[in-house]
Structure 1
Amino acid sequence: MLLVLGIAGGWVLARSSTLSGRVLDADSSLVTAVRLESALTDQETGIRGYGLTGQPDFLDPYRSGVTDERAYTTRLRTTMSDRPDVLRDLDALQRQAQAWQQRIALPVAATPPGAPVALATQRADEGKRDFDRIRAATTRLQQTLQTTRDHSRAQLRTAYTERNAIFSAIAAVILVLTAGVVTGLRRGVSRPLEQVSSDVRLVADGMFDHPVTPTGPADMRQLAGDVESMRRRLVHELAFSDAARLQLDEQATELRRSNAELEQFAYVASHDLQEPLRKVASFCQLLQRRYADQLDDRAGQYIGFAVDGANRMQTLINDLLAFSRVGRLHTELASVDLEKLYARTADVLSVAVEESGAELTHDPLPTITGDATQLGMLLQNLLSNALKFRSPDRPPRIHLSARADDDGLWHFAVADNGIGISPEFAEQVFVIFQRLHTREAYPGNGIGLALCKKIVEFHGGTIAVDPAHSPGTRIAFTLPGPAPAAVAAAAQENQR
């Protein structure tokens, strides 16, 4: 509809422009016709004055009139080329003018000046009749031009009326279409969108069982269908999550029950199991002292085996208890000064250090957050292992290094010059009860490095054997702590 009205509006504008041009052409042609009449009148006046007086000055209006006549005639033919009636009247006027020129004007103008022209007097009546015909032809031409102008003006007024009517119709149609579009958008888009938005808000507020109803045009229904599919998927995922959470709760309950049983087992292991072992060891030793004179050497050896087994069993139980308590007991994290903790550990191992002639060194150690008891066990196990597995060919040299990266992670390493660990056993040594040597060669239960790994991982770090270190062993581990910038700031604050 807008296209049709637009074409009609363009047509009426073009028609109005054309008719306006015609009116302007008619007005200018009417003026030109008047000027053409004036040029012909100048010719007649000049010829009549020259014929009566013979003075050459009277021929100037004649000559200028002839020039103007040609110009005005050419202009009229160009402007009114599409009006046959005007051209017909113009042709009739030119025939009358040429007849007058041939009979009167040219012969009189060709007569020598100086005296009145007799031919002018002789043909005065004839010239008057001919020029009256010219005037009549000029009048008909002007009337035709006037009629043409009036007709063009009437057409232009009609075109203006049509233009106003079409433009008013365009405006009315635009208003009606705008109202229809707004109403259609309201009914077909806004209301369905509000409905979908309301359903989505209800789902977002927690009413996951509320369906999103598809409504409105196809695109809106497709959108609502996609949202409904997403809601169903969310409901399914939430149901699965709830089921998983219930299962996790059940497992957590079972885990708490299991931990309680483990706690009870630990209590039994630390009391009820160790008490019979102490009795076995005590009575075996009492039997050896009381009946020493009645027993031979083999009996004494057997009693020694029994006492040693009972003692090793007690040690194994204590080590297992310590391993099981990591992460369950002594889990109060606090600020731990590793310098002080290292000094206490070295003091505990002072006898072994002195007997082996070992040299213990370390880098400046930071203060980190952790469990002091467990970190003490970590350092003690690593340093005692370095002392235990020393090389018989050289005195032990043990160094604890420490450095931090930009993320605040501290890298520690205990390096020694002992017997070392083969690369193929680099991971096996951290498995509980895994021993690389016989009990006779090196005492122990094979729990130390497994305990170290559990302590380091409980603090959020990692531990591994450095296979590139030689000679000896280098065990590297990481612990989270403050960044180097924070450590430097704390050091400056302590200096102040």
Structure 2
Amino acid sequence: MNSQEDPRGRNTGRRPGPRARLTVPTWFGLVLAAILLVVGGFAVVGAQLLGRTAAESNDLVDRIQPARVDAYRLQKALLDQETGVRGFALSRDPRWLEPYTLGQKEAASAARALRPALAGDPQLLSDLTRVENTAGTWRTAHAEPLVERTRQGTLPVAAELQQSKLAFDRLRVQFGQLNRDLLAERTAARGEMHRTRSAHNWLFTGMLAAFVAIAAALGFLLHAAVGRPLNALRGAAQRVADGDFDHRIEPAGPAEAQQLATAVEAMRVRVLDALTASRQREELLAQRTADLDEQTVELRRSNAELEQFAYVASHDLQEPLRKVASFCQLLDKRYGDQLDDRAKQYIDFAVDGAKRMQVLINDLLTYSRVGRVNDDRDPVDFGATLDEALDNLGEAVEDAGATIERPERLHTITGDAVLLTMLWQNLLGNAVKFRAPDRPPVVRITAEPDTSGEEPAWHYCVTDNGIGIPEEFSEKVFVIFQRLHGRDVYSGTGIGLALCKKIVEHHGGRIWIDTAHTDGTRIHFVLPASPTGPEHEPETDPVPEAVPGPRRDTTDHARPSTGDPV
């Protein structure tokens, strides 16, 4: 079934695969086979022509040309015989017989060499036979008789010399015929060799033309079968790359090009689906951003109301509380002698409740202002904040007889000095307040680099030997206004550790209680290191900060809040 597609060009059904087409290696294999076939044909014909040319050249060089040379040797030998006979007959000088004698030997040698060269040509053999026969007749009938009579002292007559000359002229005619036939044979052989060479040249010219035609056909084939589909694919892919994601890429060309086009089309569909999903997410994000903007406006309005509440709580609410406490105290002072013990107790309850209400309001304001009122981001010497907290807790530490062991120096962090001082003061104040009744409090502060995260940070630990915190309450104590003891046992509002957690988290850190430590309480917290402030390692061994002294209550609301979790 044919595939369906939506208006955006995406497939909604299964699309049939590309038609079976030859692959590019198959095309090249066919073209290579055709080239090899043409080259093989030309090679066979060329080899035959080269063989013929070589054979004809060898025949001309090794047979015909040597035959002509031997024929000229034979002719020269016979001429030497005729000249020697004539010279001896006229001069009777025996020296003239030497050319005749040597000529006979040379003629016999030339004839023996010439006959095998002419064995394949009856006409030339016939010419040679006639020359040999005519030469033999001339020697028998004329040359030898003349030589014999001359040796006997008989002078030859002119008629005999003339007859010898006429007989030798007939031999010359036979020589001429042999030379002409040899020349004709050479001319025919050279003509055949030239024709073979011409055919050979035409063959190589045709081979070159065939190669050019094959190259042109191969180029056209590559363009039509590979180049054109790839160009179309490149153009379609470029349109998609330019943003026209609805443009469908049609497969065409060889199998590899179709597979590539199919893969690119599948990628386009996936990109289009991803783009559609991204646009939907973008629309959803825009809607959520608008909702967040509305919530931000609402949050700002709520913060403004909270600020207004803080102002009312810090001024308007505390004024009636002070009046309640003041008038209750005046009532006790003026009419105390008229009241019984129960009435005085009621007045004390009212005064104590008003004062505790003031403390709760102050602690709540302090908690709500963390990160809103005090939000400085400056390099802070963490050791200096610890020193200030210890100064604020000096009387409480001295009265409790507490010993504070701390590093001599601490590093620099980025934050708010007031909040960090408040952090130390609450942690150390709790450590001194919740001390064990049977031993003086000892508080140990340590610091070391934190390696649990990717960003540089410092890991602090505050350990005391006090009453400790049960494991099941290790999370509850960080909740605001959560107490583990009654007010009659330990004073406070239960906001101290909640305030510490908010301060640490406001500075990008974390805080927790070590539940494995049972001999007292051990609180860990991690704060990011300052990226710009001077870094130095704190002392590894804490040194005592205070010596034991008389005990005194640690509550002091005139300084930064020292509320506790219980």
Q: Structure 2 length normalisation: TM-score? A: 0.64
The 3 A distance-change label for structure 1 pair 405 and 307 is same
Equivalent residue number for residue 66 of structure 2: 35
Instruction: Report the Cα distance in structure 2 between the residues aligned to 1:69 and 1:282, rounded to whole angstroms.
Output: 165
Task: Identify which of 336, 352, 355 aligns with 1:311.
Answer: 355
Equivalent residue number for residue 253 of structure 1: 297
Equivalent residue number for residue 374 of structure 1: 419
Indicate if the aligned counterparts of 1:378 and 1:452 stay in contact, CA closer than 8 A.
yes
Superposition pairs of residues 43-442 of structure 1, within 5 angstroms? 90=120, 142=186, 145-146=189-190, 148-163=192-207, 165-167=209-211, 169-170=213-214, 173=217, 184=228, 188-189=232-233, 191-197=235-241, 199-200=242-243, 212-214=245-247, 217-218=250-251, 219=261, 222=265, 225-363=269-407, 364-405=409-450, 408-442=456-490
**Deviation of 1:460 (Å):** 0.7
**Deviation of 1:482 (Å):** 3.4
The 3 A distance-change label for structure 1 pair 438 and 43 is farther
Instruction: Report the Cα distance in structure 2 between the residues aligned to 1:193 and 1:238, rounded to whole angstroms.
Output: 26
Equivalent residue number for residue 475 of structure 1: 523
The 3 A distance-change label for structure 1 pair 56 and 274 is same
Q: More deviation in 304-313 or 446-455?
A: 304-313
The 3 A distance-change label for structure 1 pair 97 and 304 is farther
Aligned with 1:330: secondary structure?
Answer: coil
**Deviation of 1:255 (Å):** 1.7
Equivalent residue number for residue 205 of structure 1: none
The 3 A distance-change label for structure 1 pair 348 and 191 is closer
**Deviation of 1:11 (Å):** 5.3
Equivalent residue number for residue 553 of structure 2: none
Indicate if the aligned counterparts of 2:379 and 2:530 stay in contact, CA closer than 8 A.
no
Instruction: Report the Cα distance in structure 2 between the residues aligned to 1:68 and 1:283, rounded to whole angstroms.
Output: 167
Amino acid at match of 1:367: T
Q: Give per-residue Cα distances to partners, 1:423-477, cap 9 Å, x unaligned.
A: 3332232222322222222122221111101100110111112234453222121
Aligned with 1:336: secondary structure?
Answer: strand
Q: More deviation in 214-223 or 354-363?
A: 214-223
Q: More deviation in 224-233 or 373-382?
A: 224-233
Let me know the Cα RMSD of the aligned residues: 4.7
The 3 A distance-change label for structure 1 pair 68 and 425 is farther
Indicate if the aligned counterparts of 1:430 and 1:453 stay in contact, CA closer than 8 A.
yes
Indicate if the aligned counterparts of 2:461 and 2:524 stay in contact, CA closer than 8 A.
yes
The 3 A distance-change label for structure 1 pair 293 and 166 is same
Q: Which has the higher contact order (CA 8 A, sep 6+)?
A: 2
Q: Give per-residue Cα distances to partners, 1:101-126, cap 9 Å, x unaligned.
A: xx9xxxxxxxxxxxxxxxxxxxx9xx
Bigger fraction of residues in helix: 1
Instruction: Report the Cα distance in structure 2 between the residues aligned to 1:234 and 1:425, rounded to whole angstroms.
Output: 46
Indicate if the aligned counterparts of 1:12 and 1:163 stay in contact, CA closer than 8 A.
no
Aligned with 1:90: secondary structure?
Answer: coil
Aligned with 2:460: secondary structure?
Answer: strand
Aligned with 1:268: secondary structure?
Answer: helix
Aligned with 2:535: secondary structure?
Answer: helix
Amino acid at match of 2:459: H
Amino acid at match of 1:372: A
Indicate if the aligned counterparts of 2:367 and 2:499 stay in contact, CA closer than 8 A.
yes
Q: How many residues align?
A: 448
The 3 A distance-change label for structure 1 pair 286 and 57 is farther
**Deviation of 1:344 (Å):** 2.1
Instruction: Report the Cα distance in structure 1 between the residues aligned to 2:114 and 2:459, rounded to whole angstroms.
Output: 114
Instruction: Report the Cα distance in structure 1 between the residues aligned to 2:342 and 2:113, rounded to whole angstroms.
Output: 165
Aligned with 1:291: secondary structure?
Answer: helix
**Deviation of 1:293 (Å):** 1.4
Amino acid at match of 1:440: D
Aligned with 1:304: secondary structure?
Answer: helix
**Deviation of 1:186 (Å):** 9.5
**Deviation of 1:340 (Å):** 2.7
Amino acid at match of 1:378: L
**Deviation of 1:332 (Å):** 1.7
Q: Structure 1 length normalisation: TM-score? A: 0.72
**Deviation of 1:228 (Å):** 3.9
Equivalent residue number for residue 448 of structure 1: 496
Q: Show structure 2 runs of 5+ residues with no match.
A: 1-26, 82-96, 134-167, 252-260, 538-566
Indicate if the aligned counterparts of 1:404 and 1:483 stay in contact, CA closer than 8 A.
no
Q: More deviation in 138-147 or 127-136?
A: 127-136
The 3 A distance-change label for structure 1 pair 153 and 298 is same
Q: Give per-residue Cα distances to partners, 1:199-249, cap 9 Å, x unaligned.
A: 42xxxxxxxxxx534166432982655554444333222212211211211
Amino acid at match of 1:348: N
Aligned with 1:420: secondary structure?
Answer: coil
Q: Give per-residue Cα distances to partners, 1:303-352, cap 9 Å, x unaligned.
A: 22222222222212221221121122211222222333222221221221
| Identity between Structure 1 and Structure 2 (%) | 41
The 3 A distance-change label for structure 1 pair 157 and 310 is same
